[in-house]
Structure 1
Amino acid sequence: MKPEDLTMTLAVLDKLTNAQWQNVFNALPDRKKDIIRFSQRKSESALMAGFKRDKLYHMIIGEYGCTLLSNSDIGSAVRIELLKSLSKANWQKVRDEYRNIFGIGALNLKVQQPNGSKIMGNKWKSGSKWAKKFCELIGLPPSFALSYNQKFKEIETIDPVFTLKPLHNYQEEIYKELRLLLDEGRGKARMVSIPTGAGKTRVAVDAICDHLALSMQANGKQDIVLWISNSHELLAQAWEAFKGVWQVPPQKNGEPIRRVNPMKIIRVWQSAKHDVVLKELDPTEGDYLRSVHVLIASVDQLHAWLKNKEEAFESLRGHLDRVCCCVVDEAHGLLTKEYSNVLTKLGLKQHKKWQTVPKAPVVIGLTATPWKSNDDDTRSLSKYFGEKLIRPQRLNDKPIETLRNEKYLAEVTHRLLKIKGSPALTPRQLQHINTFKDIPEDYLDILSKERARNQKILKELVSLPVSKKVLVFACSVLHAAILTNLLNNHYKPGTAAFVYGETPRSLRISIVNQFRTGNGPRFLCNYGVLTTGFDAPKVDVVCIARPTMSVLLYEQMAGRGLRGPKNGGTDNCIILDVNDDVFENRVQSYARVLELWDGKEGARGAVGV
């Protein structure tokens, strides 16, 4: 929320009485109430007694932001209490506007409390004329009336323009290998691997777009690309990459490769309509011969079509001869039932075994995590991709060190926040760790509520210079909310914000953009949504408060802050690992991941705090 909007909001909401805020608090779901209780360490009666005096409603504002009026949990309660707080004259102005919009005969609104306010307060549709008028008359910013459940366009047509910054030299190595792979034809699969922050998506999209541009100029038949991921953030990132690279062809040896044909990017996620997608690919519909088609698809959406729309899925497979390639982003997660079923039915994988299909489209995997282990899954993955890892030779055996020295990745100051006296693991939790090599969620929930641990994290975060932008990875949704509230209590509302899986996508984008540009929160706490596809290069500090035994997950979290000056990032980044003594040396840290990549122990500037 913009500072001026926050000031405007607080001025309006401060007019509600303590009793009215109690009504709003009562409308909160239990898990939201728990966030406030855990943040304040007070009983509910104590909370109620000083709810307004202690400005605890600031937490509600910080939690819901500009969705305060539209949220299904408390939106109705807030709207009703706001109407009740109006003077008689102002209430009548709102009533008159309500009648103008919905018709004078719709309702006979004469009484301000409680029926009249309840009737008008329960009437709401984000983005509607009524929502906008309500905010205007109440005195809230226009952003409170907007809808934050917008979807991507079904189809977007992009016309070519010029020019984009050229690839880095290490990216050129991968680009050339991918171009050769695409030119050689069918029945192959290869894995591309470079560290997080080094530009996997950009180099893959560059190679594919240039291949398609030349192929279309030669009247080639293959005009479809299928890009699959399991993350909405990665799908959105791929969408923007194709849009940018096709519109603005990068320079290649002094001359860009011209795009003669338009490109249509087609959304195949977020409840995409199969009939819309298939219509776009139908050769009898419109001018398909003049367009390149890029299907950006979630594996979940494809699997849902496979289960529930089998005829549509078969129709999609019917266009296989027109598919140039299939890209699987974060391909280290390929060995799942969903991916196996989808790739098999599409004709990109042999039945019941991880092998490519002769004459099938090229499959390109993207990952930041090289296969250095020797378990069955890694062997299956390696076999599917022909045991070939496309990786820049010029980065040698120490890619992170090389990329840092050349300013493509940031220099890292590694700090350990040691937590002593962590709760003991139960026998069942220990068994889970030993069996699945993962920390059980119920133990992460316990860590979320550890007051001493949270206070130590808070103390460390507030000791950072105020110029630093900090990305925090929490143990759970509750933990992200608690840390956000602790930070906002220490500073002021709006200093910190948090996002998680249920945050409406457009609102999440808005919060992340404000964080990126410096016009919003300085601390961005999250759980489970910013490990992949998050593009905010100028992150000064990454705080990893969520322990993990997964190299991949740790690398994805730490990688959010690793872009260097040549990649639009920072010269230096602080990686703050919260180290719980209960795990001893079983969880990942920056030093361990650096050792995996570069074969060396420790990180520059590693210190304990």
Structure 2
Amino acid sequence: MINRLQIQELQDLVGKETLQRLAAIIQFIPNSGISHPNDIYEKQNLERIFLSFAGQDAFQKEEFRKKIISRLSDEEIRSLAQKLGLSDLLPFSDLVNLISHKAWTDNSETKILIDFLRLPESYIPSARTVIPNIETVKRPESPYKSLKDYQNEIFRKVEGNLENPLQKILIQMPTGSGKTRTAMEIICAEMNKNPGKSVIWIANSEELCEQAVECFRDVWSHIGTFDADIIRAWGPNDVKYPINSSFLVAGFAKLHSAFKRNPELAKVISNNLHLLIIDEAHQVMAPTYKEVVTKLREDNFSIHMLGLTATPGRGNLDNEETRELIGFFSGNRIDIESGNQTVFQYLRHKKILAHIKKDPLYTNMVFELTPAEKKYLKSHYDFSMEFLERISLDDMRNLEIIKKLKKECELRKKILFFAGSVNQSKFICAILNFMGYRAEHLDGSTKRDRRRNIITEFKSGDLNIICNFGVLTTGFDAPKIDVVFIGRPTMSVVLYSQMVGRGLRGPAIGGKESCKLIDVIDNIEAYNSPDNVYEYFGEYWEENV
């Protein structure tokens, strides 16, 4: 039914700037269906572009649905009314108002309307999921998977340390080696030894928080010796203090704001705590995060503190931050013993980690940093959002990325694309959809239910491409990823390891033998390319493809 819209209406809905950007590059994409820039202004192509670039957002708005429905014929609207259980005897205008006013949610009426208007199934809104603030862990329904030998060695060392008072321990395990699973075994063992006491797990993203909940639920259901509560304290859930023995999972930001509003809350929570876990421990060096940890420990200094990290503290390659982080944990760092091999060789040999095959995309483009961007890089050890936004708008660079992505799509690969900006992620995602490859976009503003639905589809195999910005670097496990495509430059070892880590899971833990890593390598003035970051991870790779 989109064909009822006029050419000018379609152009206005897509936007002049988007059409100009498309006209400049799409003719150079092999087999895109567009051979000349002016072809995109043909009505049939405009309809496809609208559905790919703007349709999903447009149909969320009642006024737009009303515009489309009002262009149905009298026979069509009465047929639709019957399907929706409305009286087909009502006047045409009343039916238009009633149908367009219906809630655009995951319900049978929306599905009928989407089917009737011949819209893509992906337009169906995600079902709203209510996540409980508190839940009780029940008995297991699946077999228990014991720790691997190297995880068990970490467990044994940490448990030995925890027999002493006031322990602060930093656990370092490479991305993909099972930090969360190992930590959860420690947590459950300590809760069993200390009934009535609670544990708090602090992380900086919803994905990491939910991952912790799922892992605790699985482990505790098998080895827990009493009923324990899980308390969620992130997103819409308030911070609740434990009444029973509990596993409290909280977002740093949520705790910080809650403690500011109610300074006594930290004291109430800490009174019953035995363990404090900091996921992605390098975050604790930020002043607000350190403040949260300090508040929890100032009235109960006997709380043991564990930090989890893959690359301790290294926002850049300077060791100062690493030393500070290890110092924060009293110099007590525990990591994997790998004998004469490197840790990566050891874990690959055990098929814990996949073989990473590098396939760099050299753009041969030179980008000059402004004085402000240089200043930001010098003080923050990474590129500013302004710089990332600027290079992400370079459509000659985007063209090379799209061509490379298209080749992987043609091979039906499962791809996770890390963009340099929200704009770039949306733009590239829309072009992939225009070319017939189903892709979805995620960023920090994506609604929680939609984000969860997209990730579920990706994990199940119903969706093969996710384009994202600012999310999915942590707390996201999709075992069968074929390609990690990094489209943003970074000088941060931590961020880079998190992105690469999404493809590291090996066959011994449900992943793949190998994963392709595609890096977009730019020539950034005065810094050449961030090769020093990539070379830092030389042990991750074995060969180029």
Q: TM-score, normalised by structure 2?
A: 0.86
In the alignment, is the contact (CA less than 8 A) between 2:367 and 2:523 conserved in 1?
Answer: no
Counterpart in 2 of 1:195? 174
Counterpart in 2 of 1:260? 225
Q: Say whether 1:295 aligns with 2:238.
A: no
Equivalent of 1:458, from 392, 398, 402?
Answer: 402
Equivalent of 1:270, from 235, 250, 255?
Answer: 235
For residues 191 and 56 of structure 1, do their structure 2 counterparts lie closer, same or farther at Cα, with a shift above 3 Å needed? farther
**CA offset digits 1:420-455 (Å, max 9, x no partner):** 133333333233323332212222222112222122
**CA offset digits 1:464-514 (Å, max 9, x no partner):** 36142121111111111222233333x4052x2221111112212222222
State the 1:94 CA deviation: 5.3
In the alignment, is the contact (CA less than 8 A) between 2:4 and 2:68 conserved in 1?
Answer: no
In the alignment, is the contact (CA less than 8 A) between 2:66 and 2:100 conserved in 1?
Answer: yes
Counterpart in 1 of 2:31? none
Equivalent of 1:557, from 484, 499, 507?
Answer: 499
CA distance in 2, matches of 1:22, 1:182: 69
Counterpart in 2 of 1:470? 415
Q: Say whether 1:172 aligns with 2:152.
A: yes
CA distance in 2, matches of 1:159, 1:141: 40
CA distance in 1, matches of 2:231, 2:42: 49
The secondary structure found in structure 1 opposite 2:367 is: coil
The secondary structure found in structure 2 opposite 1:552 is: helix
CA distance in 1, matches of 2:349, 2:450: 37
Residue range with higher mean Cα deviation, 479-488 or 236-245: 479-488
For residues 183 and 68 of structure 1, do their structure 2 counterparts lie closer, same or farther at Cα, with a shift above 3 Å needed? farther
In the alignment, is the contact (CA less than 8 A) between 1:471 and 1:539 conserved in 2?
Answer: yes
The secondary structure found in structure 2 opposite 1:393 is: coil
Structure 2 counterparts to residues 210-609 of structure 1, below 5 A: 210-216=189-195, 221-222=196-197, 224-247=198-221, 249=222, 257=223, 259-274=224-239, 277-278=240-241, 281-282=242-243, 288=244, 292-308=245-261, 310=262, 313-346=263-296, 348=297, 359-370=301-312, 376-394=320-338, 398-464=342-408, 466-489=411-434, 491-494=435-438, 496-520=439-463, 522-583=464-525, 584-588=527-531, 591-595=534-538, 603-606=541-544
State the 1:397 CA deviation: 6.8
CA distance in 2, matches of 1:390, 1:548: 28
For residues 572 and 339 of structure 1, do their structure 2 counterparts lie closer, same or farther at Cα, with a shift above 3 Å needed? same
Equivalent of 2:45, from 55, 58, 61?
Answer: 55
**CA offset digits 1:237-272 (Å, max 9, x no partner):** 11111111122x2xxxxxxx4x33222211101132
For residues 147 and 555 of structure 1, do their structure 2 counterparts lie closer, same or farther at Cα, with a shift above 3 Å needed? closer
| Paired positions, count | 531
The secondary structure found in structure 1 opposite 2:253 is: helix
In the alignment, is the contact (CA less than 8 A) between 1:233 and 1:534 conserved in 2?
Answer: yes
Consecutive unaligned residues in structure 1, runs of 5 or more: 1-12, 250-256, 283-287, 350-356
**CA offset digits 1:334-366 (Å, max 9, x no partner):** 1122212212222x26xxxxxxx8743111111
**CA offset digits 1:505-533 (Å, max 9, x no partner):** 2212222222222222x322111101111
Residue range with higher mean Cα deviation, 149-158 or 583-592: 583-592
In the alignment, is the contact (CA less than 8 A) between 1:563 and 1:569 conserved in 2?
Answer: yes
For residues 402 and 241 of structure 1, do their structure 2 counterparts lie closer, same or farther at Cα, with a shift above 3 Å needed? same
Alignment RMSD (CA, Å): 3.4
For residues 485 and 126 of structure 1, do their structure 2 counterparts lie closer, same or farther at Cα, with a shift above 3 Å needed? closer
In the alignment, is the contact (CA less than 8 A) between 1:228 and 1:296 conserved in 2?
Answer: yes
The secondary structure found in structure 1 opposite 2:542 is: coil
The secondary structure found in structure 1 opposite 2:3 is: coil
For residues 159 and 66 of structure 1, do their structure 2 counterparts lie closer, same or farther at Cα, with a shift above 3 Å needed? farther
For residues 138 and 427 of structure 1, do their structure 2 counterparts lie closer, same or farther at Cα, with a shift above 3 Å needed? closer
State the 1:300 CA deviation: 0.7
The secondary structure found in structure 2 opposite 1:226 is: strand
In the alignment, is the contact (CA less than 8 A) between 1:61 and 1:68 conserved in 2?
Answer: no
For residues 378 and 358 of structure 1, do their structure 2 counterparts lie closer, same or farther at Cα, with a shift above 3 Å needed? farther
State the 1:561 CA deviation: 0.6
**CA offset digits 1:157-210 (Å, max 9, x no partner):** 22122632221111111111232334434x221111111111100110112112
Consecutive unaligned residues in structure 2, runs of 5 or more: 27-35
Which amino acid letter does the alignment assign opposite residue 73 of structure 2? S
The secondary structure found in structure 2 opposite 1:55 is: helix
Which amino acid letter does the alignment assign opposite residue 272 of structure 1? N
CA distance in 1, matches of 2:533, 2:480: 19
Which amino acid letter does the alignment assign opposite residue 345 of structure 1? K
Which amino acid letter does the alignment assign opposite residue 335 of structure 1? M
CA distance in 2, matches of 1:293, 1:27: 51
For residues 143 and 425 of structure 1, do their structure 2 counterparts lie closer, same or farther at Cα, with a shift above 3 Å needed? closer
For residues 568 and 26 of structure 1, do their structure 2 counterparts lie closer, same or farther at Cα, with a shift above 3 Å needed? same
State the 1:273 CA deviation: 2.8
For residues 411 and 188 of structure 1, do their structure 2 counterparts lie closer, same or farther at Cα, with a shift above 3 Å needed? same
Which amino acid letter does the alignment assign opposite residue 606 of structure 1? N
**CA offset digits 1:262-296 (Å, max 9, x no partner):** 2221110113234xx24xx34xxxxx3xxx31111
Counterpart in 1 of 2:30? none
Q: Say whether 1:16 aligns with 2:3.
A: yes
Q: TM-score, normalised by structure 1?
A: 0.78
In the alignment, is the contact (CA less than 8 A) between 1:423 and 1:582 conserved in 2?
Answer: yes
Structure 2 counterparts to residues 9-88 of structure 1, below 5 A: 13=1, 15-19=2-6, 23=9, 26=12, 34-41=17-24, 53-62=43-52, 69=59, 71=60, 75-88=61-74
Which amino acid letter does the alignment assign opposite residue 189 of structure 2? D
For residues 392 and 188 of structure 1, do their structure 2 counterparts lie closer, same or farther at Cα, with a shift above 3 Å needed? same
Q: What percent identity do the matched residue pairs reach?
A: 29
CA distance in 1, matches of 2:532, 2:518: 9
In the alignment, is the contact (CA less than 8 A) between 1:412 and 1:573 conserved in 2?
Answer: yes
Counterpart in 1 of 2:138? 159
CA distance in 1, matches of 2:246, 2:50: 44
